[in-house]
Every structure is written in structure tokens, then in C-alpha cells.
Chains A and B, each alone.
Chain A
Amino acid sequence: MTEQTEHEIDGWWRDLTAAALVGTARRPVPPEPQWGVAPRADASPEILLLDAAALGGAVRRAGRRIGAAESRPAAPDDRLRPAPPRAEQLLRLVLHQSPVGVRLMPAVVDTWLRAARRAGARVPHALLCEVLDLATRREQLRPAARAVIDARGIWLAAANAEWSWVLEEPAEGGDLPDDWARLPTERRAAAVATLRSTDPAAGRELVESTWPTDAAGDRRTLLGTLRIGLGPDDEDFLERALDDRAASVRETACTLLDGLPGSRRARRLGELLRPLISARGLRRRSLEVELPTAPGAAAVRDGLGRSRRGGSERGHWLEQLAAGAPLEVWTDAAAAGPSAAYRMIADADARRGIRRAVVARRDREWARAILGAAPDPELLGVLPQADREAFALDQLSRSAGLAQLMTLVQAVPAPWGASFSRALVDRLAREKDADQVVDALLTELARGLHPDVLPAVRAWAGRAGAGVRDPAHQLQQLLSITPSITEAFR
């Protein structure tokens, strides 16, 4: 068809459609173009229109021009090597027919993605979409996925809005927003918190800058961010905050100052605490602590106010003293090291206070001392990662309760060593009602268990009761499949 004819026919077709819309009773049928087919003789308008529709429809659809479209760049060549066939097979198996159940499947995919990264291999094209979909739903897979989807994956993600996370850089420290002061409090706090990890002084200055005009709740929130990167330079500001109008701010300042044993407040509390401690017993083996009497104004300012909880007010004051005073007070009184000193203290309030001080100051020596006495997962977090497992192992054997087991397990960084894994599996296998704990800890167990415990897990799965059999079996499958994945990339 020439362009002229095409234009003619298009126009005629539009007229025909208009006539059909209102009906031949109201509008006559437009005359047909000259295309060599004579209209039917003596036909009613309806028949003429239907004939025209048949002919016109046929001409238009057979003669249409296919429109052009802009070219778009193809995906660049992949840089990584393709995954070996066995590895591809394993990934397909895990994605479609997960031998480890639905909950642990992302953990196994994560293992695969990391193994691929180490081997310099990429995700097979046929499975790219599924991996991208899974990582969209499970954020923890995204870093590993980004590394191995290669050029094809990035090209795909650029076209699909759901996968835009691939192209976003993970939030780095970033520059401080210019209008920080005008942002809502939560975002201000988040910005300060990020800043405190690199430049604590600058973070503090920011907080101080809006201090006079902020509301009480905002002051409390912002002050709380000073927990990050807390240091002696923060002391002056915190000391001033002890005089704040709002009780919540004063409380926060006290809690933060608990973490600065060199501060003036610590010294003041130490001076109040020292006279209360005396060594007793035949061979001065115990430390007796008197409860403090009515605190003066200075002491109230330093935190010896009304107790929130019920119970003894004087006990609460003792706890506050113990939390704020330097820990040397105890070792001096006991004339011994922290473990010995701690053992000599019987008073529960004092112990509670000391524990708070240790956590706030992240004092490793004292943490080790206290952990020697009883299981305490929060203190475990104070220790360096390398030491945590040894202590956790020790605490496991002291029959920690099931609830404590959870915090214990969560405090020890994965992957765990063989002996800790073994002790944990044995402990869980012995427990009668471990269902809920195993269920809650399933992802940690998946990440942490050492491959050597496979036989123990297999035995556990074999003997386990109904509620635990499936998770135990899934862990067994996971421990079997992980070495297969590494092997497949060789």
C-alpha cells in the first residue's frame, strides 16, 4: 500500500467505526475506497456496513506497518566464569526442591552464593530471576547476590523496578545532611549516631548545637546517641546534663556517666561507696556492704533518687553507687583481683550494680571475672569475639536454662567451633521440650553449627520427638549439603 492509500483507508475506517458506533439507523455507511471490490447490489445498510467491516478489517490487518522501536544496549559480557554444571544442578535443587525446608533454604542459597564468589563463578542465567526474587524478599542475601549476578544480572535489574536494590549502593557513612537541624528527631539521631563512630567530637557538637531549644524527649534521644563512641571528652557535656530540667535526661546522663570511670561523678560516687565496704570474716574472706543512708543533694544529683522499681530504696541507692563508682573500690577493699573480689561480695544489689558498670565500661577483665561465676550472655557480648566461644562452652556445661541458652547462642558469633557446636547439639538433644527453642534458633543453628557435628545431628534427628524431628532433619540436610556445594565449585 502506498502511504497515500494507507492514509485514505485509515480515514475511511475511522468514519466507518463512527457510523457503526451510532448505528446505521442514524448514520449512513461511508462510501468505500476504490479497491476493486464492488459493493453488494441492493444491500441493506446493515449488510453494506458488515461487508465493509469484513473487507476493511482484512486489508488493515494484513497491510499494517510494524512500528519501529529504539534499540537498547544488550547486556555486557559476563566477567565471571560460569558455575560448574554440578554447582548449577545443586542451586536448582535447592531453589526448587529444597532438601532443607523452606526456612533454611535462603541460608543454603547464601552459602552457594558465597562459595560462587570465592570460586570466581557467576549465577547461571536460567536461575538469575529466581535468585534476584529471593534476594528481594530476603535482604540478608543481597550483598552475596550482588557479587555474583555479574553483568547479565545488573542489566536485568536495571529494567525491573523490583530489583532496583541491585544498583543502589549500600548506605555508606555518607555526608551529614546540610539541614540537619531541621530534620525530624529520629533522623537527626540516626545521623549523629553514624557520625559518632567516625568523629565523636563532631557528633557531640551537633547535639550541643540544638540543645537549648530541643524538647525534653528530643534531648533524651539525642543524648542517648552519645553511647556510641563514648569517651572522656564527653564528660563535661554529660556533667552539665545532670542539671537538666527533665528527669529522663538526667537519668540518661547518669547511665552514660556509668561508663566513664574517670569522671568526676565516678569519683564522687566512689567516695560515697568506699566507707560502706568493709572486709569481714576470720581471714577477711568476705566483703560486707552497708546500705547507704539518706543521700545528700549532690548524691541525688548523681543518681541516687527515687527507685522506679518497688523494693528497698536503699538497695537501689547501693546499686546506683556500685554502677557509677570506679571498680577499683572493690579490688582495693578486697586487696585482690576482680575475680576474687567479686566472689567476696554477697550483696545482690551491689552485684547488680557492678554488672551494670562492667557492661557500660566494657571492662573485659571484670567481665571474665563475673562470667567465671555464673552464666551471663550480656556480659559475653563484652568480651572480644575470639573469647566468647570458650566462655560460652563453659557456660553451656553449667546447664544454662533454655531461655538463657537463646541469648547465649545469639551472643556467640557464627560460625562456631566444633566443641561448642557439639556441646550445643548434645544439650538440645537431652532437652525434652526443646521445640520452641530449636524453632527460634533455627537460623542461628544453620549459620553456626560446625560441619563436624553432622553425625551428632544425624543421631539427634533419628531419636528426636515429633516437634524437633523436622528441624533436626533439616539441619542434618544442611550440614550435608554445605560441603557438597564447596566441592561442586572445585
Chain B
Amino acid sequence: MTRWNLQAVEKAAPDASSLAAGRRLAVPGPWSELGSTDTLLWGRCQGSGKTPYQVSIDLTGPAYRCSCPSRKFPCKHAIALLLLWVQGSGSVAEVAEGADFAREWAEQRAQRAASTAARTTTAPPDPVARARRLEERIALMSAGVEELSLWLADLVRGGIVQARRQPWGWWDAAAARLVDAQLPGLAERVRNMGSEVQQRDDWAEHLLAEAGRWWTVTRAWQRRDELDERSLADLRTCVGWATPTEEVRAADAVADTWVVLGAHRTDDGRLLQQRTWLRGETSGEVVQVLDFAARAAPLPVARIVGSVLESTLARYPGSAPRRALFATEPVVVGTAAELPPGDDLAGAQAALAGVWSDNPWALRVPVVLEDAVLLPGPGATAVVRDAAGRALPLLTEGAPWPLLALTGGRPTRVFGEAEERGFRPLSVVVGGEVVSA
């Protein structure tokens, strides 16, 4: 079991406030019964209540358990325990066998994971009622799509220059109507366009192209009965009609060893989203696991970049890169020292074009860039330049300096997401290990 370092703990924290709270608790004072084996950490932390909180961490997951009332994983007590362990000052001593409460929990987890894999689905609900609900839903969506078509036609008839003069409420109202019509994915895009039209210099071309894509959605929806399964799935993803997880599990299963290539968290103000890219060692296929959480709720635990997981995944229908979920709880079996071989920027562009030819509504494609040089650009921006001399803007949250410090303008292998606007670096190979960008 590889020992964690401070960086890994910082990445595992669900948000900055938990991390800060955990740091404050990472002193020996409130803790008792601390200990570790090579797979378990445990301790008791005196909180504000009468009895100390029991904290257990299973490093193979990683999975966290704490008797405190927080709903975040890991909670601040778990973070504090990790920090104490990582400091290596001897407060979390290594012993042969775990404390009772920690051991029992780890065993229960292992059992539960096994039983989930073998669990049979419950009986399907009443089929007639289901069919009726489905019909109603589709009718609602069709009406929303039709309305969107008319809205688009009005927009281009009157001239898109008017769109720029509209107040934010106009866009928001259009988005709200789409939400009411069970088309949240489209609503999201419309809302984003409302701000982009004000911010971008090339707003007119951007609006025109994006309107063309929304138009494609409306046309595709009308012909949905003629679409094949893959394209229909892409259409559903675009409008935001989710496939229930039981269906996904029932339809697909791929058991393999998966390398965590990289991950990215976004926060759009309403929703937290976590994208984790996995590459199957046998098939070479790259899939993304998506986790969502409402603003105050915790995200599921973050997978450590570079770790190698053994698990059965179930892939959602659709074009590559496919979304997937963990059908069985993943088990960490090692750490990858290297990213898979990659391509230059022309190859990345080709990959994007390939994805778009199957799914015009796709946003990004995972790529590994070979011999990529990360360089500072004008202002506080950066670019990625390949060996052939081509360059794309780097899309980073905040300043690119830490990444530039790590790579020093030298060619490295970088994994990230290629999008229309540029390249978002997610992982980089530095000093013989894969590091999160």
C-alpha cells in the first residue's frame, strides 16, 4: 500500500473549508486510540459532543467513516486523521492488527461490495403506468423542442444582433421553459450562452454556430425513431434525459484494470460535478465517471490520479468517450508510473473531429499529448505547444504558474481534455510519477 503524502490528502478533501477545519484538528490533543495498519487508519477524536467520534479510514478505497454528524466524505475528522498520519511524527503508530471498530467496518464493507455485485434487481414497476408516464414525458419534451425551433427561427428572422441587447432575464426565461419541458441539458447551454454573448469578442459567430447545434437537436428529436441506439443516447445526454443507473448496470459490464488518467471538478454555482477519466488496460478504451452533488452535499470520494483500479464498469450508451459507472466497488491494486503514449496537437484535433462526426453535441475528448511543452503566454495565460510547433491555449482554473513550475517548459507527456477553445491539462508526468495538474 503506497503511503499517502500531503498533496494526496489535500486532493481528497471535498472542499477548502473541510481542509482548513481538518488542519486545525490535526494536533495530538483531541485524539486517542490512534493507530494504523497498512490498509486501515483509525482513531477517536474529541469533538463538541460528549463521546469522542470514532473515525476509520480504509485506504484501499479510499473509504471514510466517522460517527460525527457531518455528511461530507471525508469529514474534517477523517482529514485530520490523514494529516496526522501523513506527518509521520509517530502519533499514528503502525500496529499489527486494527482496533475493533475499524476492523469490523472494513470487513462489513468488503461483504457489502460483494453482495452488491450479486444483488438481483427488484421487480419492475407496473408496466402500464410506466408506459403512460413515458408517453407524457415525451409529449412534454416534444412540445419543448417544438417551441425551441420556433424560438430559433424567430431569432434568425429578427437578427441575432438583438440577442445581444436582451437582458439576462430573457435568456433565463428561455432556459426555464426548457427546464419545464424536461430538457435541462439544453437549458444549461442556453443559460451559458446568455453570458457568453456579453463576454466574447466573437459572440456573433459563436451564437450562430451554437444555434446551429441546437437546431440539430430539434431536427434529431423529430426523427428520433430513425436514430440508432448510439445516436439516440447522445441526443438524450445532450438534452439531459438521464438513463437510470439500474438500466445501465443491466445493459453493460466490462471487467478490467483501469488506470485513473485524470480528474476535474467544476462548480457552476448550483451543482458540483466531478469527472474522472479511466483507461482500461485490456481494451485501451477511455471512459469518464461522472459524479454530481448539489451545492451543500458532498461528492463521492475522489480517485487518486495514477492509481490502478480493478473493477467492473457499466458504460452508458452513446458515442465515445462513453460515460461509465462503477458496478463493483473498485479495488486499488497499484500505481501507474506512466501515462499511455499520446499524440501531437494535430492528432488531438483529429480526435476531436472524430468525436464530433459521431456526436455533434460532444464538448470534449480525452487526449494524451506527447512531448507537450507548457509555456507562459501573454498576460497570465499559458499555451501548450507540440513538437511540430502548433499551440493551443491552456484552459486552467486560475493561474497556470504551478503547472509551469512543475514542467519548466520542458517536453512532457500530458493528459487532458481537448475542447473547441483549447486544452485543459489534468495530469502530468513529473519525476517518475503521475501528478495531478
Please indicate whether A and B come from the same complex rather than being unrelated chains. Answer: yes
Convert A49-78 into 0s and 1s, putting 1 for each residue whose CB lies closer than 8 angstroms to a CB of B: 111111111101111101111011111000
Cβ–Cβ < 8 Å partners of A160 in chain B: 376, 380, 401
Convert A142-164 into 0s and 1s, putting 1 for each residue whose CB lies closer than 8 angstroms to a CB of B: 00000000001101100110000
Cβ–Cβ < 8 Å partners of B401 in chain A: 129, 156, 160
- From the candidates A23, A57, A129, name the one contacting B158 in the complex (CB within 8 A): A23
- From the candidates B205, B215, B375, name the one contacting A72 in the complex (CB within 8 A): B375
- A40 (CB) vs chain B CBs: closest residue: B219
Q: Are B405 and A152 in contact (CB under 8 A)?
A: yes
Given known A24-B156, A62-B356, A74-B410, contact A13–B389 (CB-CB < 8 A): no
Cβ–Cβ < 8 Å partners of A92 in chain B: 6-7
Say whether chain B's binding surface is mostly helix, strand, loop, or mixed. helix
Asked if A79 is at the interface of the complex by the 8 Å CB criterion, the answer is no
Q: Are B346 and A66 in contact (CB under 8 A)?
A: yes
Cβ–Cβ < 8 Å partners of B420 in chain A: 61
Asked if B216 is at the interface of the complex by the 8 Å CB criterion, the answer is yes
Convert B193-226 into 0s and 1s, putting 1 for each residue whose CB lies closer than 8 angstroms to a CB of A: 0000000000011001111110110000000000
Asked if B153 is at the interface of the complex by the 8 Å CB criterion, the answer is yes
Distance in Å from the Cβ of A470 to the closest Cβ of chain B?
Answer: 13
Cβ–Cβ < 8 Å partners of A50 in chain B: 152-153, 156, 211-212, 215
Asked if B372 is at the interface of the complex by the 8 Å CB criterion, the answer is no
Distance in Å from the Cβ of B220 to the closest Cβ of chain A?
Answer: 10
Given known A53-B209, A53-B212, A74-B408, contact A23–B156 (CB-CB < 8 A): yes
Cβ–Cβ < 8 Å partners of A64 in chain B: 349
Q: Are B408 and A97 in contact (CB under 8 A)?
A: no
Q: Are A93 and B375 in contact (CB under 8 A)?
A: no
Distance in Å from the Cβ of B410 to the closest Cβ of chain A?
Answer: 5
Convert A249-275 into 0s and 1s, putting 1 for each residue whose CB lies closer than 8 angstroms to a CB of B: 000000000000000000000000000
Cβ–Cβ < 8 Å partners of B87 in chain A: 89, 93
| A21–B206 alpha-carbon span in the complex (Å) | 12
Asked if A403 is at the interface of the complex by the 8 Å CB criterion, the answer is no
Q: Are B157 and A24 in contact (CB under 8 A)?
A: yes
A residues 148-192 touching B (CB-CB < 8 Å): 152-153, 155-156, 159-160
Q: Are A68 and B208 in contact (CB under 8 A)?
A: no
Cβ–Cβ < 8 Å partners of A44 in chain B: 153
- A16 (CB) vs chain B CBs: closest residue: B208
Cβ–Cβ < 8 Å partners of A75 in chain B: 408-410
B residues 364-378 touching A (CB-CB < 8 Å): 373, 375-377
Cβ–Cβ < 8 Å partners of A16 in chain B: 208
Chain B interface bracket (under 10, 10 to 19, 20 to 34, 35 or more): 35 or more
Asked if A456 is at the interface of the complex by the 8 Å CB criterion, the answer is no
Cβ–Cβ < 8 Å partners of A62 in chain B: 352-353, 356-357
Asked if A291 is at the interface of the complex by the 8 Å CB criterion, the answer is no
Q: Are B153 and A54 in contact (CB under 8 A)?
A: no
Cβ–Cβ < 8 Å partners of B152 in chain A: 46, 50
Q: Are B410 and A20 in contact (CB under 8 A)?
A: no
B residues 146-200 touching A (CB-CB < 8 Å): 152-154, 156-161
Q: Are B159 and A53 in contact (CB under 8 A)?
A: no
Given known A22-B161, A97-B23, A126-B402, contact A66–B360 (CB-CB < 8 A): no
Asked if B390 is at the interface of the complex by the 8 Å CB criterion, the answer is yes
| A56–B213 alpha-carbon span in the complex (Å) | 10
| A66–B157 alpha-carbon span in the complex (Å) | 33
- From the candidates B6, B213, B390, B410, name the one contacting A96 in the complex (CB within 8 A): B6
A-B contact pairs, 13 of them (CB 8 A): A20-B156, A20-B159, A20-B160, A21-B204, A49-B156, A50-B152, A56-B212, A58-B356, A62-B352, A66-B390, A68-B390, A97-B23, A160-B401
Assuming A20-B204, A68-B391, what are 10 further A-B pairs, CB within 8 angstroms?
A46-B154, A53-B215, A54-B216, A56-B212, A71-B385, A72-B376, A92-B7, A93-B87, A126-B7, A159-B404
